[in-house]
Structure 1
Amino acid sequence: MSKPVKFVRGFHEPKPKDIDKALGNDAPFSNEFKTSFNSLPKPTNDLDWLANYREKGQTYAQFLDQCPFLDDRSSLQEYIYLTLLDNDDRLSILNIDRLVDYTKRFFQMEVKLLPLFTNITWNDKKRTLACTVKGRNNSTSATTLRTRYDSITGHSQICVNHVLNLLKRSVPSDARCLVAITLHDLYSDSSDLFIAGLAQGNCRIAAFSFFRYDPRLEISEEF
């Protein structure tokens, strides 16, 4: 029988009175709302967060004061921007309108499509992917995306870090975030088999790939 995993030494499991105190008397929570949450689960693995870190907790007032998404600047960042990094014929298998609608409903924010990447072409001779990128001031520039290519499998991947660097130059001032969507496979480091995506929260940017969601795909140890 395995030994039960305990909270890290010094962590105090919150009692109902502690929770009420953290929420505060002025918090707009009904008793029904307060009882809708399960009690704090005990760690089940040695790697669980609370088995290793002594969290001090946070009151609701502290959360409102410290949350970066609730400051005065974020009130002006009212849109989620999506940009498509792919050819129209490839993107046709995605229902972009439904993706936009889902994102809008899930985050309860307005969503806009931003056409940053155009003229995306694969150079079969050089094994590179080129495109035209629109900057924040509507200027355009031709760019060759950093890629890697496997001559045995014929598979190519885009370096997500290069994509993020391009996004940094184009984040609208009213954007909560700018996310690039692609059907191309992504990688970050040479040791990566692949990555599904990567975000830089402080810069309000991210890139996400649907490539690995293809049900016909067979995963191997080679990219």
Structure 2
Amino acid sequence: MQTIRHSEQTLKTALISKTPALVSQYESLDAGERRLMNEAFQPNSALFEPITLHSESDWITSHPEAPQDFEQFFNDPKRKTPSPEKSSIYIQSIGSLGNTRIISEEYIKWLKGYCEAFFYGLTVKLLEPIPVSATRCSFRVNAHTQNLQIHTGDILTFLKRKKPENAFCVVGITMIDLYPRDSWNFVFGQASLTDGVGIFSFARYGSDFYSSRYEGKVKKLEKSSSSEYSVFDNYYIPEITSVFLLRSCKTLTHEIGHIFGMRHCQWLSCLMQGSNHLEEADRRPPNLCPICLRKLQCAIGFNIVERYKALLRWIDDEPSNKPGVTPKHSREGNVNLPKRVEAFKEWKEWIMKCLAVLQK
């Protein structure tokens, strides 16, 4: 293992900047917010740890990138900021999300609520679910997993055309694996900062993804007839568990973070770190480091205390498990919703520690 440990001065400059206007902007934050963010450059902070690399296959090793500090984020001419006219995040589900309608609906409501808390101050709206065929995307069978995949570029083009006028961004979510180009094995998600669109798959977060193989054959990558999309009917859908939900929330907020102009974090252990595989994605925490938190606060303008309280409310709000509302003799009758708080216990405890610092 290798630990990436930056000096206190490097982290302080990355967070605060040396530009007088940005230093003044930082000093205008309330004392509690500065106290929390200053944890970024405190040696042995109990809240924000250095990045640990476990293997050569980890993202930072295999995808060298220049780090982005707050000043670079602030001055990025391509960065998009929400406005009163464009202040909504839209979520578009593509294909089935759950084995029953109730689970699918509850799951996407959980994601909506989490995004509203994470991007506190913005409105999150759900678009009507659509089948894969509506996107007219290319698809293939992955040579390694033998599972179906859909093409991210085609999906992004579709979402761009469908983007509502008042949208800051529109993001597609699916349980079908993704590939960005023929030469790539897969990708968890892809976003376009310029167009304000993204597509994210949670397929590989299912415990049985690698043992579920598609037995049919797809001979061509390009599809022209809607009838050919029938291969996605009753296709593999992973079980929604608390761990699965945590993984989904992390991926969704990470990728939307890119639409705000936040690049992969290389400062501290942070949600905005890149990930090449599931083990690395699981090591990535759900929280933003102070440098990335300042970027998001600058873009949205939220109060950090109120944002953390909103996240706590979401974690503590148990699902409305009401199987009695479905018709008899329906596959909707077997409802097994997870207690989402189980996988979020460490996240909840961490937030409470942050609130203690903020409200000291």
| Partner of residue 133, structure 2 | 131
Native 8 Å contact 2:88 2:124 kept in 1: yes
Residues 177 and 43 (structure 1), Cα distance of their counterparts in 2 relative to 1, 3 Å cut: closer
Which of these residues, 76, 86, 91, is aligned with residue 95 of structure 2?
86
Give CA deviations for 1:89-115 in whole Å, capped at 9, x if unaligned.
657444111111111111122111112
Residues 151 and 205 (structure 1), Cα distance of their counterparts in 2 relative to 1, 3 Å cut: closer
Q: Which runs of 5+ in 1 are unaligned?
A: 121-129, 134-142
Q: Secondary structure at the match of 2:41?
A: coil
TM-score (norm 1): 0.63
Structure label with greater radius of gyration: 1
Is 2:204 aligned against 1:191? no
Which of these residues, 157, 164, 167, is aligned with residue 165 of structure 1?
157
Counterparts of 1:188 and 1:54, CA distance in 2: 24
Counterparts of 1:86 and 1:174, CA distance in 2: 25
Is 2:117 aligned against 1:105? yes
- Count how many residue pairs are aligned between Structure 1 and Structure 2: 186
Residues 210 and 89 (structure 1), Cα distance of their counterparts in 2 relative to 1, 3 Å cut: closer
Residues 194 and 106 (structure 1), Cα distance of their counterparts in 2 relative to 1, 3 Å cut: same
Q: Secondary structure at the match of 1:81?
A: strand
Give CA deviations for 1:16-37 in whole Å, capped at 9, x if unaligned.
x976944217942234433332
| Partner of residue 63, structure 1 | 74
| Partner of residue 178, structure 1 | 170
Q: Secondary structure at the match of 2:210?
A: coil
Which of these residues, 191, 197, 201, is aligned with residue 209 of structure 1?
201
Identity of counterpart residues, as a percentage?
Answer: 23
Which of these residues, 140, 146, 150, is aligned with residue 138 of structure 2?
146
Q: Quick check: which one's helix share is greater?
A: 2
Native 8 Å contact 2:176 2:202 kept in 1: yes
CA deviation after TM superposition for structure 1 residue 132, in Å: 3.0
| Partner of residue 115, structure 1 | 128
Residues 192 and 76 (structure 1), Cα distance of their counterparts in 2 relative to 1, 3 Å cut: same
Counterparts of 1:190 and 1:150, CA distance in 2: 10
CA deviation after TM superposition for structure 1 residue 152, in Å: 9.4
Native 8 Å contact 2:142 2:149 kept in 1: no
Counterparts of 1:55 and 1:88, CA distance in 2: 35
Match of 2:128, as an amino acid?
A: P
Q: Secondary structure at the match of 1:208?
A: strand
| Partner of residue 46, structure 2 | none
Give CA deviations for 1:23-77 in whole Å, capped at 9, x if unaligned.
21794223443333221889999x79xxx96989739xx938968444xx73311
Aligned-CA RMSD value: 4.4
Q: Which runs of 5+ in 2 are unaligned?
A: 44-49, 54-59, 212-360
Match of 2:74, as an amino acid?
A: F
Work out which structure has the larger RCO, using CA pairs closer than 8 Å and 6 or more positions apart in sequence.
Answer: 2
Native 8 Å contact 1:148 1:157 kept in 2: yes
Which of these residues, 35, 41, 50, is aligned with residue 39 of structure 1?
41
Q: Secondary structure at the match of 2:71?
A: coil
Q: Quick check: which one's strand share is greater?
A: 1
Residues 156 and 112 (structure 1), Cα distance of their counterparts in 2 relative to 1, 3 Å cut: same
Counterparts of 2:194 and 2:200, CA distance in 1: 17
Residues 169 and 23 (structure 1), Cα distance of their counterparts in 2 relative to 1, 3 Å cut: same
Native 8 Å contact 2:78 2:194 kept in 1: no
